[in-house]
Amino acid sequence: MLGSVVACGSPTGSGTSSSPPTSGSPTTSTAAFSNAYRFDAALAAWVESTGLSGATGAVISPKATWVGAVGKDASGRALMVDTAFPVASVTKTVTGAEVMLLASKGLIDLDAPITTYVPLPWDARGATVRQLLGMRSGFPTTTDDVLLPLVSKDLTKPWSVQMKLALIDPLSARQGALGAAPTGDMSLWYNSNNFDILALAVERVTGQPFTTVVRRDLLRPLGLTRMWSQVDEKPTAPLVTLLDDQQWKLADPATGYLPSTAWASAMGIGGGSIAADAPTLARWGALLYSGKAIPASLVAQMTAGDPADEYGLATMRAVTDSGSLIVGHLGDARIAASLMLYWPATDITVVVLVPQHTDTANTPLPAMADQLETLAQMAK
């Protein structure tokens, strides 16, 4: 799932970095790495070698922190360390954390059928909340050939979860078998609608909008002010301009959302709507997976499982050649790419954000993250 995690080539070149803002945001460290230039050089070399226009990144470890930016976005503006991006499916870690938190308070039963909370237009076959969190529901999904032409028609139009679900043919092919462990070909089991449905469950049990609940329970207490649940919340500058899709227009900077009102909302309130900058997203990952955002016992449930299973609960999993576990999530906004990974063995979090579509096989985000994690380990 996370790709082959191997180091990139020797770092060369230069970037721009600074310590991330820390006001109101607890992290494992507030000191900057003394060898920050090595992180800058690694990011710059990776961008140059892959032909990308630019990237931003962040690292948080018990020793120190680093943030950096190199290159430009589609408008020609230089990327800043606090440039906000759509983070797409990294949103699922927030949705999952909220569901786990509500379950710990007795408001949601992880092993109850999801239809206890949300009526669905197809036979759910008893799929539970836990199975939705783990991509094991076997639900049908919304296909790009149906959704994208409709989104592209009016980029100022907000999309609701119900509008997306209405596009699904209840009799269409299912994404995997109910309860099957998500391994192998991701297209056979990965279904973002699972998390949009979970967001509806959160609203049902709390009686409040999903965005309000997440802001109250997670983002505000952690001081994550540059992390927004679109389109209920509007990100603030600096905002990235993305290289648009060649077939379907998805970006409209004039709307003020990333990448547009329509695509930000159509990616799904629970599955892909969040926008953030690299240092803020790294703080989220560090706080979540170290057990500081929600109780550590809940995090243990999110990350547990057979190493061969590529998905825990709202968490992608990978094991390196040396046997080390990596957890977190990748995000594909079709015209932007994101990654937030955490190494439990070293308590290091890495984020990389890219302002254009990437082919994971030829532009290995996980390999860049692995190089940054290695540099963090080497730092004194």
- Give 137-181 pLDDT, tens digit per residue: 999 999 999 999 999 999 999 999 999 999 999 999 999 999 999
Residues 85-102, mean pLDDT to the nearest whole number: 98
Residue 4: predicted pLDDT = 35
Query: Can you tell me the distance from the alpha carbon of 326 to that of 89, in angstroms, rounded to the nearest whole number?
Result: 17
Secondary structure class of 161 (helix, strand, coil): helix
Residues 249-275, mean pLDDT to the nearest whole number: 98
The answer to the question of residue 126 being in a domain is: yes
Q: Which domain holds residue 56?
A: 16-378
pTM: 0.93
Number of domains in the chain: 1
Query: Can you tell me the distance from the alpha carbon of 159 to that of 36, in angstroms, rounded to the nearest whole number?
Result: 42
The answer to the question of residue 176 being in a domain is: yes
Q: What CATH number does residue 94 fall under?
A: 3.40.710.10
With the C-alpha atoms ordered 85, 88, 94, 95, is the resulting torsion angle positive or negative?
positive
The answer to the question of residue 103 being in a domain is: yes
CB 336, CB 327: distance < 8 Å:
no
Query: Can you tell me the distance from the alpha carbon of 28 to that of 32, in angstroms, rounded to the nearest whole number?
Result: 12
- Give 205-234 pLDDT, tens digit per residue: 999 999 999 999 999 999 999 999 999 999
Give the residue from 334, 257, 253 showing the smallest Cα distance to 76: 253
The answer to the question of residue 158 being in a domain is: yes
Residue 2: predicted pLDDT = 56
Residue 24: predicted pLDDT = 35
The answer to the question of residue 258 being in a domain is: yes
The answer to the question of residue 2 being in a domain is: no
Label the pairing between strands 325-332 and 316-319. antiparallel
Enter the tokens of residue 335.
Answer: 């015209």
Query: Can you tell me the distance from the alpha carbon of 359 to that of 365, in angstroms, rounded to the nearest whole number?
Result: 9
The answer to the question of residue 70 being in a domain is: yes
Residue 6: predicted pLDDT = 26
Instruction: Tell me the pLDDT band of 97, cut-offs 50, 70 and 90.
Output: very high
The CA-atom distances, in angstroms, between 12 and each of 1, 46, 54, 353, 358 are 29, 9, 15, 19, 22
Residue 223: predicted pLDDT = 98
pLDDT above 60 (res 14)? no
For residues 11 and 111, the model is more confident at 111
pLDDT above 50 (res 307)? yes
Query: Can you tell me the distance from the alpha carbon of 182 to that of 297, in angstroms, rounded to the nearest whole number?
Result: 23
The answer to the question of residue 1 being in a domain is: no
The CA-atom distances, in angstroms, between 313 and each of 76, 95, 203 are 38, 10, 19
Enter the tokens of residue 341.
Answer: 């990974």
Share of the chain above pLDDT 90, in %: 85
Residue 321: predicted pLDDT = 79
